[in-house]
Amino acid sequence: MAKNSVIRLNNVWKIYQMGEVQVEALKGLSFEVASGEFVAIEGPSGSGKSTAMNMVGALDYPTKGIVYLDGHDITKLSESQLATIRGRKIGFVFQQFNLLSNLSAMENVALPMMFQGISQIKRKERSKKLLESVSLGERLSHKPSELSGGQQQRVAIARALANDPEVVLADEPTGNIDSKTGRDIINLLRELNKKGKTIIMITHDHNLAKVADRIELLKDGIIIKQKRSKK
């Protein structure tokens, strides 16, 4: 394993039991993401992207194989240990935004910091700075219903950065917004990458995947092709 490896999957299988039928979502998936990379995991519906995201994001345990997160074998960690290391190392950006409707933008961004034991004063200061960094300084007290789709996704990105994670994992980050706003979100992810964040993006869209440094093409639960971007 490379010294600067952040995430590494080694022969990872994920098998779901659906009644009497076993569904092999991942079939020996192996790849590695180095610190500072921008990697896209691309694949059509049913290719295993969502399951791969769960493995990469340390959201689930593999049936077989090993997942390393920052050098730690997560298969040997308890649920609480896994949640702790995940909360510090990875920020998540989801297609559906997953903002809490009864909280303001600032409160949504502050929430992950609460789980890490950060004081209320520091939570407020950092939330404000993060929202200003994604051009939402005038929307601090607005609730999700008062924001456009693009603004909600920017709140979600600010929230993903709340605990200053090394990795930002973006699952179809432009799926629920218009194409122009989508370009703005991708540019924001690229800027974060230039500032040193490791970006892993899950997508079915090849044109979107091309903004990454490297594309891992997923089909039927395995990587069938790896290619470097020509951007």
DSSP 8-state code for residue 19: T
Rounded to an integer, the average pLDDT of 131-160 is 94
Nearest to 155 by CA among 208, 104, 88, 114: 104
Burial (CB < 10 A; 0-12, 13-18, 19+), residue 213, is middle
User: What pLDDT does 67 receive?
Assistant: 94
21-34: strand order across its sheet: 21-34, 5-18, 64-69, 72-73
Contact 67, 9 (CB under 8 A): yes
**3-state secondary structure (DSSP) of residue 231:** coil
DSSP 8-state code for residue 211: T
Q: Which amino acid is at 140?
A: L
What is the CATH number assigned to the segment(s) 37-58+79-228? 3.40.50.300
Question: What predicted TM-score, i.e. pTM, was given to this entire model?
Answer: 0.90
pLDDT above 90: residue 4: no
Backbone angles phi, psi at 67, to 5 degrees: -115, 120
User: What pLDDT does 3 receive?
Assistant: 57
**3-state secondary structure (DSSP) of residue 101:** coil
pLDDT above 90: residue 111: yes
User: What pLDDT does 230 receive?
Assistant: 61
